[in-house]
Structure 1
Amino acid sequence: METKTNGFAIAALVLGIIGIVGSLIPILNIFSLLLGIVGLVLGILAILKANRQGSSKGMSIAGIILSSLTILVAIIINVIVVIAVNEVANDPDFQSTLEEMTEEVSDSPSSFNQEEKTFTGKIATVKIDKAEKVKDYDGKPALKVFFTITNNQSKDEEVDTLLSNTTQFKQDNGTVKNELSVTVLKEEEEEHLYDTLKAKKTISTFIVLELENEKDPVIVEFGDALYDEVIGELKLEVK
């Protein structure tokens, strides 16, 4: 007896097999979803034909089952992916990280205003208010520099970190410029150099620098964190 071939059943089975494998891949399983729909339609046609001809009924049922599973799995996986993406997108830590990344790639250039003695950088804005010569805890000459600083970031940061990432204090003797070390006063004063400054907030404080001599000026160099280039300079006379 000649066995009749049911083309619809074969096509439904093949599409069902391909579809069920592809349905496990998020996003791309949209194509598997389409294969599952086509396979389901072909499977239904195949089983109708099988009922008339009495051939390939098992293959038709297998095609319908696989195609149906393809549609179901593809929908479930995409729903899970959407839910997961929404949860990540609404997470505060993710939002904070995204804002930081946006700030890092910002096209807004850093700048220095000589007249206002103000440097505006990506992570902080620093304004030099005044400077005066003092004696440190050991009686050595030092320069007390008063400044106002704004944390331009979306995260909290220590004032000292913001300052060190935007400014360098050097003394110029005409031949070389040497970076000055931080020192402390003999008499304790309230200062906020090591306080944590909240995001977008501003504070005024001071830093005490140990001088190499009492005649050469102190140069404040401004730049962004990696110091690819010095964006501005300010000369502070030692008086």
Structure 2
Amino acid sequence: MPITKAPDKPAYWLILSRNKLVRIESQSTLFFARHTELQFASEYIDSAVRIGEYRQTECFMLDMEQQEPDHHNAELIGLRDALISENDDAFNIIARAWQVAVFLRTHRYCGQCGSQMQRVDWELATHCHRCQHRCYPRISPCIIVAIKKQEQILLARGRHHKQGMYSTLAGFVESGESLEQAVHREVMEEVGIKIKNLRYFDSQPWPFPHSLMMGFLAEHDSGEINVDGEEILEADWYTADSLPVTPPEFSIAGRLIKAALQ
């Protein structure tokens, strides 16, 4: 996804301002327009980044960074709200746009010698011409697991969850760990139980800010729930007809919950 000259033909555009997405007149955050129609973001057109295709049409990202759009009908909406309000097809392209923007914002200077980095024009990377250090977007591997015990599923409320939201357990993979080792460690650390019959389910890029979630299904082996009180505040076993508020199904957590209960 190199830096690309804006096309003359209509394309889809995602425009970022601060840490939010721009929306006009409560329409989609994906603008279908020629770049000449985006007057409020015209000074950023030369920095357009092609981030893929949406509905078989090229899609570009413009990052206004800290500048707010000068448009009387513009509003800024959070990334989570945008992902929920858009259709499922838009999820990946919005997530990718945000991860690209975060990378470019945080790699202006070389981490090795401190010089200003330059964008590479044929791949998504930044390069230091002084010391030849090159950087690519960071991807942080995470595991997420749905644990079942007979007809019940373990759901937990984390410190950073919205009020009343319960979800499956998740955590970052540590250096030197396999995915499977990370699952067993996170489960033991967060709720104090052992699991068995661990099997891979699916994966999903997750732009908060640059995670790759790798999902697993597992069964309870032994032990009683004992939350760590730090990451996890509450956890319990739930049946399909007694579920608390859980993540939507466009998220891998929502799909894991549905798969486990089926």
Q: Which has the larger radius of gyration?
A: 1
> TM-score, normalization: structure 1?
0.24
Greater share of residues in strand: 2
